[in-house]
Structure 1
Amino acid sequence: MRTRLRDRVAASDPGLLRLIAGLRTVGAIALALAVLALLGSDVTHLVAGAMAAMVATFAIREKQPGAQALTLALGLPVALASVSLAALLSSRVIAGDVFFVVLIFCAVYGRRFGDRGTALGLIGFQLYFVSLFVGASAGALPELYRAVALAFACSALVRFAVVPARPAGILQRLRQAFRARLAQLISAQLALLDAEPDGIDKALEDLREGTARLHETALMIQTRLEEGTPDASTARLVQRRIADAEIAAERLGLLLLSARSARRADTLTLHLPGAPAPTVRSLPGSDEAMGLVRRDLGALRELVLRPPAEARGTALSHLRNRLLGYREEENLPAASPAVQDVFRGIGETARAVLGLRVALDGPQDESDDSPATTRSREELDAEDAAIDAGEEQAPAAEPTGLRRPTTRAAVQVAVGSSLAIVGGELLSAQRWYWAVLTCWIVFLNTASTGEILVKGYRRLLGTVFGVVAGIVLAGVVGQHTWTAFALVLVFIFAMFYTAPLSYTLMSFFVTAMLGLLYTLLHTYSTAVLLLRVEETALGAACGVVAAALVLPVRTDRRTDELLGTVLEKLVDVTEGAVEQLSGGPAAELLDRARDLDQALGDFRAATQPLTHPITPLRARRDTARYVVALLETCAYHARSLAATAELLPTHPSIAADPRLRGAVRRTVRNIEAIAARVADERAGTEVETGPSIASLLEPDAGGAPRYGRITGRVLRHLERLDEAVTGLARPLGVPVAAPRR
């Protein structure tokens, strides 16, 4: 029971990153409140200290403890300078407003200097806001200095001593999350196996979600490998085994869907939300075949979930040996080819799980290995020996001047904040800063007008519901100071725990918390909370206006740029994999594949304004979803080709075939044609069609000999990649040429 609960928590919060963020923030605030209360600080400075501790905790984003400590140390003088200027300029309205706009520009511009620049800018802005919120004056600065300094000290103590998070520990928890999500995906595959025709859509949707969640965790591990592993070779080994397991599990789901379908399932079905499920049938053959598949999927899930300390014993070895035997055609049940492919897929996934366990947990007990298991271990050892650190990539050239995203965003936020100050002071001379805060926030982690519009809408929606909650809670809590502080801590934890999941929900908890803070400061009223809604709406509107009129980046332009990057990375991975499969030199293919995944993730995020449920352009929304699904399909096949190509030096069933260079040329030309059309609508490019990839590999009329054995899997990936690339042409408006005779 304890193991199951741990796996469930690991799967819901990979790496426990949200839990750690919430606990650190709440711990820092609680400790700061306790210390300030013992020193006899009044409620105003308790609130200031709590907010400063929160900022000092969430602003730091570096992964290494040393870098975090340095940024925190540099943040304290920035915070003290910021509260000083806010207090000194509080009586000089125009000078204060001008400085606030300059501070906002510098804070956003500082993002170009990485995590440290972002953190220091955030600390400077937020502490200026804290001073405005508590109404700090020059005479109160000594007490405010003490509260801020203690808040930073408490944040450091909690971060480094109470709730430490070392990179190696985070990576270890992410690995556990990957295992848990892999087991959940296998459970979804079992549900698909047993689903009745009227429940197949729900089972398929669960399969899609499980596949996406596994991929998300694989990418999170990728970003932590450099800091969490002792050397580059270990990082590449873990990366390779994670990629193998992810690809094998996704392929197994596709094989199961094909076995249950009247015809071979399209890979796109696994990546397009809402896509209709194919016509399903019972597993052909007999109920016995169904039972065997169900049994072996359960055994595979057991292999994934069993902790290393419990992984010894003849029973588990027997399961592993049986599953690995399917890879070598051992004991395949009498069934249709599609069902036998499922058993082979189970064997390949079992082999990936074995490699994952060896890479993550070290050497395993080999006393009960069958010949098939021994051969799998030998293949894994040979692959491990071939993995090296690779070469470092040169940094890409960045745009300069106003074309640099951080500079453009700084100008936009400065203009939007100026509008928010003017409009906010017309609404309220005392609480105009809420409009500025909203304008600032809607620009964080956004890059186009559409993204800012969606984020502003979500913040306004969460604020409205939060105001309702704040009114209710203020009436219940009344003047019970420590009860109110306790609820504030609960809301702050909920705010950080839900932030990656729902921006609307996070905004709800922020607003509800502020209602309690107003109560503590004796400035609460229903009119104040309603004013917050008005200021929030004004700030969001100012942000959208600034984004639309000042150096605008239209959503179409942003998505086109990112789509071009995805297509470029797709060519890079595909050409590199095929070149290696054709006998060319080895390359860092999995690194290229992860670059493709990252580019695709950026593109998917940029299309959110187009795919949001409230968008009135339904046809455009469906087109955007279809394009993203096709690109995910392309990325899956390219990733699979890259993983297969890296097996070439060690795997006995894969041999180089120079003819593959010719077979993939049409696909690469088509990707480049689509990229050219995306970059310039007037480009006269078109997509070619023609014979299947498999037919291009047949011997010519002269009977030229075959150069080597190419697996059917490689052919299928190339064929499906070619089909998906051709499918991109229609939604992107690229002409498709008739097949050449």
Structure 2
Amino acid sequence: MLKRVFVAPDPGRTRLRFATRAVLGIALAVTVCGLAGHSLQGVVTGGLAALLALFTVTDATVRGQAVTTALLPAVGLPVLAAAAELHDHPVARDLTFLAVVGLGVYARRWGPRGHSLGVFAFMTYFVAQFLHATTDRLPELFASVLLSVLSAAAVRFGLWCYERRLPPAPVPAPPGGTGLARVTTRQAVQATAGAGFALVVGQLVSGQRWYWAVGATWWIFVNTTSRGETLVRGFRRVLGTVLGIGLGLLVAVPAQGAALPTAVLAAVCVFGIFYTAAVSYTWMMLCVTVLAGSLYGLLGVLTPGLLALRLAETAVGALGAVLAVLLVLPVTTHAVTDAWIQRALRCVHACTAEAAARLAGDESADPAPRVAELEQLLARVRLSVAPLVHPLNPALGRKRRARRVLALLDDCAREIRGLVAVAADPVASHDARLAAACWRVESAVEALTGGGAVPAREAGREPAVEPALAHLHGLERALAELAGPLRAGSGSPLVGA
């Protein structure tokens, strides 16, 4: 697990820049709120608002990111006001919380912007419970949110807007449909039901920290699509929380809220959250748990018992999510897996075409954004296939096929990264055989995604001397070998015996 985090590919050092910029943006937001004379609760609110502004906004263009960032307060401030107004009215507070959960998940149907606004709305309501916000503190909390979102925007769009040099890949949207066939609609119902269970049982466990259970249910549903994905994510959330509590006992509890050690620990945790999010949910949750412990240390309430309570509430939330995806409008794994694999294969072709055009002398061709998109899509494939390769999965045949598919897709990605690296070399020349190899890659992808016959590789082909051609030949090989595991059984990817 540790090796996966630090050895995972990071094209263009995107994850490293993402994490470093987050630390700078959140540090600026916290500093600005402190200089404005805000209380500790206001500073914490500001820091979390900046974290969300930097973490959740994933539009495909810088302009789109700026618009979504500007809309965050428009969604968050009314939710914060409602949470504060309903603080002393438990029934109305809880029903409103469930409504925010359902609407937040349903908003995913509008793509990255809907997803970002839904997450920000939920977390604003959650933070209000965390801080026991009341109406008399709203002016300060409003100011903290506004100042922090502005600070995060200043770093993201001014001080360090690396997306202008490398446009970010759009966040893959879940498969479509209409009515209850739409995944986002089904998940909205599931999340509301799961959160309702977590809310009731969480309050039985603790009348003060019940919202942790609802938060666990919510975050298990974020960025998942199928029943299997949600089950695996729930397991990883509990595992990450257990590891984070163990680490928190070693580092957060001894710090006891001391300013300098806590600030350093919080910065490390923020970096870890952003750096590991794309490759390991378990590690991300470890960092989130330690960060939460450090914040409770600042508030003067951190004890080993509190950390144990967090584990119990997380388990309740995970159970709520599991029951919801199993019993309420379940979304099966195989159809979702099929959709993600096909999108990844089409992206492989797009990467190849861009790289070949660049090698042919087209200066406007830029395969780098496509590579970043491919990495995101492969992450989605891994998440979707995770239930099939889990150690507890008894279907050994499907497990072997799933692992073979993942290995071959990783081979495709490796060859694509090598091809793009060659294309970036200004002295790289265009070989006439590249066009034929690119055509064969295109034909293979069309066959895999359209159900046709995958072109056979030429027997006895001489090894390619040119690096670009060698990468294309490797890509052809991986695509040809994918036909077997993808079409075994009933004909749909990874479906059947």
CA contact (8 A) 2:106 2:187 kept: yes
Cα separation, partners in 2 of 1:669 and 1:693, compared to 1, 3 Å: farther
Cα distance, 1:72 vs structure 2: 2.0
Matched with 2:426 is none
Distance 1:481 1:112 in 2: 42
**Residues 81/91 of structure 1: CA separation in 2 closer, same or farther (3 Å cut):** same
Structure 1 residues 600 and 105: alpha-carbon distance in aligned structure 2, compared to 1, 3 A threshold: same
Q: What's 2:311 paired with?
A: 533
Counterparts in 2 of 1:90 and 1:458: CA distance versus 1, 3 Å: same
- Deviation of 1:450 after TM superposition, in Å, equals 1.3
* Counterpart residue identity of residue 115, structure 2: T
- Cα distance change on mapping 1:671 and 1:451 into 2, 3 Å: closer
Equivalent residues of 1:611, 1:624 under 8 A apart: yes
Is 1:105–2:96 an aligned residue pair?
no
Which of 43, 68, 80 matches 1:83?
A: 80
> 2:356 is matched with which residue?
none
2:43 partner SS: helix
Counterparts of 1:542 and 1:718, CA distance in 2: 43
User: For residues 727 and 38 of structure 1, do their structure 2 counterparts lie closer, same or farther at Cα, with a shift above 3 Å needed?
Assistant: closer
What's the counterpart of residue 732 of structure 1? Answer: 489
Question: Counterpart in 2 of 1:170?
Answer: 166
Give deviations 1:128-178, integer Å, cap 9, x for gaps: 1111111111122122222222222222222233x422434236xxxxxxx
**Which position in structure 2 is the counterpart of 1:62?**
59
Superposed counterparts of 1:387-426, under 5 Å:
398-426=176-204
Evaluate the alpha carbon distance shift between residue 670 and residue 486 of structure 1 in structure 2; reply closer, same or farther with a 3 A threshold.
closer
C-alpha separation in 2, matches of 1:601 and 1:34? 35
Q: Measure the CA separation in 1 of the matches of 2:416 and 2:251.
A: 53
Q: Is the contact between residue 694 and residue 719 of structure 1 (CA under 8 Å) also seen in structure 2?
A: no
Is residue 514 of structure 1 aligned with residue 314 of structure 2? no
Distance 1:655 1:68 in 2: 37
Q: Which residue of 2 aligns with 1:450?
A: 228
Distance change (3 Å), C-alpha of 1:503 and 1:653:
closer
Native 8 Å contact 2:257 2:299 kept in 1: no
Tell me which amino acid in the other structure corresponds to 2:87. Answer: S
Question: Do the aligned residues in 2 keep the contact of 1:470 with 1:514 (CA within 8 Å)?
Answer: no
Residue in 1 that maps onto 2:38: 41
Do 2:190 and 2:329's aligned partners in 1 also have CA atoms closer than 8 Å?
yes
User: Using the alignment, how far apart are the partners of 1:535 and 1:75 within structure 2?
Assistant: 28
Counterpart residue type for residue 160 of structure 1: F
Match of 1:476 among 231, 254, 262: 254
| Equivalent residue letter for 1:133 | F
CA distance in 2, matches of 1:401, 1:669: 30
Q: How many residues align?
A: 447
1:449–1:553 Cα contact (<8 Å) kept: yes
The 2-side partners of 1:400 and 1:719 are apart by: 37
CA spacing shift, 1:10–1:554, aligned 2, 3 Å: closer
1:92 is aligned to 2:85: no
Give the C-alpha shift of residue 637 in structure 1: 11
| Cα pair 1:693 1:719 within 8 Å, conserved | no
| Distance change in 2, residues 1:727/1:499 (3 Å) | closer
Superposed CA RMSD: 4.5
Does 398-407 or 59-68 show the bigger shift? Answer: 59-68
1:276-295 residue pairs with structure 2 within 5 A? none
Q: Distance in 2 between matches of 1:636 and 1:80?
A: 45
Partner of 2:420: none
Give the AA of the match of 2:318. A
Relative CO higher for 1 or 2, CA cutoff 8 Å, sep ≥ 6?
2
Task: Report the Cα distance in structure 2 between the residues aligned to 1:37 and 1:540, rounded to whole angstroms.
Answer: 36
Distance 1:160 1:400 in 2: 36
Cα deviation, 1:363-395, whole Å, max 9, x if unaligned, reads: xxxxxxxxxxxxxxxxxxxxxxxxxxxxxxxx9
* Amino acid in structure 2 at the alignment position of 1:400: T
- Structure 1 residues 617 and 727, CA, compared in 2 at 3 Å: closer, same or farther? closer
**Is the partner of 1:91 in helix, strand or coil?**
coil
The 2-side partners of 1:150 and 1:654 are apart by 53
Q: Map Cα deviations across residues 524-581 of structure 1 (whole Å, 9 max, x no partner).
A: 22221111001111111111111111111122343355567789x69x99xx9xxxxx
Please show how residues 186-335 of structure 1 align to structure 2 within 5 Å.
Answer: 223=169
> In structure 2, what is the Cα distance between the partners aligned to 1:74 and 1:397?
25
Look up the equivalent residue of 1:410 and give its one-letter code. Answer: A
Q: For 2:174 and 2:385, how far apart are their aligned partners in 1?
A: 24
Q: CA 1:415–1:619 in 2, change beyond 3 Å: closer, same or farther?
A: same
Give the structure 1 partner of residue 403 of structure 2.
Answer: 625
**Quick one: structure 1 residues 398 and 559, their matched pair in 2 at CA, closer, same or farther if it must change by over 3 Å?**
closer
Question: Given that residues 634 and 724 in structure 1 are in contact (C-alpha distance below 8 angstroms), is that contact kept between their aligned partners in structure 2?
Answer: no
Matches of 1:13 and 1:99, distance apart in 2: 40
Give the match's secondary structure for 2:254: helix
Structure 1 residue 16 corresponds to structure 2 residue 10: no
- Output the TM-score relative to the length of structure 2: 0.75
Aligned pair partner of 2:120 in 109, 119, 123: 123
For residue 451 of structure 1, report the CA deviation from its aligned partner: 0.9
Q: Take 1:92 and 1:494, find their aligned partners in 2: how far apart are those partners?
A: 37
Change (3 A) 1:635 1:96: closer
What is the aligned partner in structure 2 of residue 523 from structure 1? 301
State the Cα distance separating 1:408 from its structure 2 match: 1.7
CA distance in 2, matches of 1:20, 1:719: 33
The 1:17–1:90 alpha-carbon spacing in structure 2 relative to 1, beyond 3 Å, is same
1:466 has 2:244 as partner: yes
Match among 24, 28, 42 for residue 31 of structure 1: 28
- 1:42 to 1:601, Cα distance in 2 relative to 1, 3 A: closer
1:599, distance to aligned residue in structure 2 (A): 7.2
Alignment partner, residue 179 of structure 1: none
Tell me whether 1:609 sits opposite 2:387 in the alignment: yes
SS in 1 for 2:302: coil
Give the 5 Å matches for 1:427-442: 427-442=205-220
Query: Could you tell me how far 1:101 is from its partner in structure 2?
Result: 1.0
Q: Quickly say closer, same or farther: Cα 1:426–1:70, change in 2 above 3 A.
A: same
1:555 aligned to 2:312?
A: no
Give the number of the structure whose alpha-carbon radius of gyration is greater.
1
Give the drift of 1:523: 2.0
What's the counterpart of residue 49 of structure 2?
Answer: 52
1:489 to 267, 277, 283: 267
Per-residue deviation at 1:125?
0.9
Q: CA deviation at 1:464?
A: 0.9
SS at match of 1:607: helix
- Paired residue secondary structure (1:552): coil
Q: Aligned partners of 1:718, 1:75: CA distance in 2, in Å?
A: 42
SS of 1:149's equivalent in the other structure is: helix
TM-score w.r.t. length of structure 1 = 0.52
Alignment partners' CA distance in 1, 2:376 and 2:176: 18
Match of 1:206 in 2: none
Evaluate the alpha carbon distance shift between residue 468 and residue 396 of structure 1 in structure 2; reply closer, same or farther with a 3 A threshold.
closer
Whether contact under 8 Å (1:63, 1:167) holds in the other structure is no
2:137 pairs with 134, 137, 140, which one? 140
Q: Which sections of structure 2, spanning at least 5 residues, go unmatched?
A: 1-5, 354-364, 418-429, 461-468, 492-497
Once the two structures are TM-superposed, the CA of residue 102 in structure 1 deviates from its matched residue by 0.9
TM-superposition CA deviations, 1:661-710 (whole Å, max 9, x none): 9xx99x9999699x59xxxxxxxxxx999x99779xxxxxxxxxxxxxxx
Q: Give, as a single letter, the amino acid of the residue that structure 2 aligns with 1:26.
A: V
Gaps of 5+ in 1: 1-8, 172-219, 225-394, 577-587, 640-649, 677-686, 696-711, 735-741
Assess if the C-alpha contact under 8 Å between 1:470 and 1:515 holds in 2: yes
Mapped partners of 1:509, 1:486: distance in 2: 13
* Superimposed CA distance per residue, residues 592-634 of structure 1 (whole angstroms, 9 cap, x where no aligned partner): x999998777545421221134545444322322344567789
Structure 1 pair 563–527 and aligned structure 2 pair: CA distance change class (3 A):
same
Paired amino acid for 1:454: V
